[in-house]
């Protein structure tokens, strides 16, 4: 399955050249953004496996601050692309724990090697060690929301989205944010009816309305299907 790359580069000729080379290397480009706000919109609405970020983009956030924000919201690798390799820039970049660093003018071979290693390491780390939760007797769970333990019916939950050290609980009628790891979440909902389909998404199995080899659907909402979860998704949903 092709991996999806987000390119954040405010020099459009360079961005298009990178896109051309990535597609020749059998990657899919989810989008090109010239500012942080555009990048975050693409991330919210598209399947992205890795973000390739130019450090010196214009706007409210530079590439490093954007990388920091992406790392807090999405468990995906980031790779920096820049002509600025001074000590302070490198120190700031390292703080965001990138999976690679490519200096401009970039070499196609170096870029391919860096992305391949970053995605390979990400795939190894994203494979869940916990078992997928199965249907049990429990029908609800208490989550600590803004200091108060709140009862949430499993049937009202549409899906969970991981956001760094937080979990977004998307319910019928709203969204709650709780501080919790994925491992802790699975301990809470182990008796529920939930299925992890991507490193960022855990869906209520009863709410799934369709799927294919790349996406899972809850009504009109699309969710990317992570490659390491595909076999288990098909097995759990009883597809031969």
- Residue 169 pairs with which residues in a beta bridge? 160, 176
Query: pTM for the complete prediction?
Result: 0.59
pLDDT for 134 equals 40
Task: Please say whether the beta carbons of 31 and 19 come within 8 A.
Answer: no
Q: What 3-state DSSP class applies to 201? A: strand
Residues in the chain with pLDDT values less than 50: 128-137, 191
**Pairing verdict, β 78-82 and 100-103:** parallel
Q: What 3-state DSSP class applies to 64? A: helix
User: What's 96-149 look like in SS3?
Assistant: CCCCEEEECCCCHHHHHHHHHHHHHHHHHHHCCCCCCCCCCCCCEEEEEECCEE
Residue that is written with structure tokens 């956001």 in the block: 163
Residue 113's φ and ψ, nearest 5 degrees, are -60, -45
Count Cβ atoms within 10 A of the Cβ of residue 214 and give its class: 0-12 exposed, 13-18 middle, 19 or more buried: middle
pLDDT for 199 equals 81
Task: Please say whether the beta carbons of 96 and 70 come within 8 A.
Answer: no
* Alpha carbon distance 214, 47 (integer Å): 9
Q: What 3-state DSSP class applies to 204? A: strand
Task: Please say whether the beta carbons of 225 and 213 come within 8 A.
Answer: yes
pLDDT for 233 equals 86
Supply the DSSP symbol for 10. Answer: S
pLDDT for 139 equals 80
pLDDT for 194 equals 87
Task: Please say whether the beta carbons of 144 and 130 come within 8 A.
Answer: no
pLDDT for 130 equals 44
What is the per-residue pLDDT across 116-159, written as a single tens digit (0 to 9) for each? 998 888 766 655 444 444 433 468 888 888 778 888 888 899 99
pLDDT for 59 equals 87
Pair of tokens at residue 144? 């600590």
């Amino acid at each position: 399955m092709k991996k999806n790359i987000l390119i954040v580069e405010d020099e459009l000729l360079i961005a298009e050249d990178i896109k051309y080379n990535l597609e020749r290397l059998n990657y899919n480009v989810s989008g090109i953004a010239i500012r942080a706000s555009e990048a975050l919109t693409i991330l919210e609405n598209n399947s992205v496996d890795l973000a390739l970020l130019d450090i010196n983009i214009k706007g409210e956030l530079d590439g490093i601050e954007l990388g920091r924000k992406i790392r807090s919201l999405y468990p995906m690798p980031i790779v920096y692309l820049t002509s600025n390799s001074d000590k302070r820039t490198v120190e700031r970049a390292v703080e965001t724990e990138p999976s690679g660093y490519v200096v401009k003018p970039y070499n196609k071979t170096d870029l391919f090697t860096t992305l391949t290693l970053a995605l390979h390491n990400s795939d190894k780390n994203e494979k869940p060690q916990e078992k997928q939760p199965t249907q049990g007797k429990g029908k609800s769970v208490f989550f600590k929301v803004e200091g108060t333990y709140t009862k949430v019916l499993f049937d009202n939950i549409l899906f969970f989205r991981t956001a760094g050290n937080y979990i977004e609980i998307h319910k019928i009628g709203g969204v709650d944010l709780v501080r919790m790891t994925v491992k802790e979440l699975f301990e809470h909902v182990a008796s529920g009816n939930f299925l992890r389909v991507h490193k960022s998404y855990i869906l209520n199995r009863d709410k799934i309305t369709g799927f294919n080899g790349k996406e899972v659907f809850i009504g009109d909402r699309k969710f990317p299907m992570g490659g390491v979860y595909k076999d288990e998704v098909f097995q759990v949903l009883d597809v031969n």
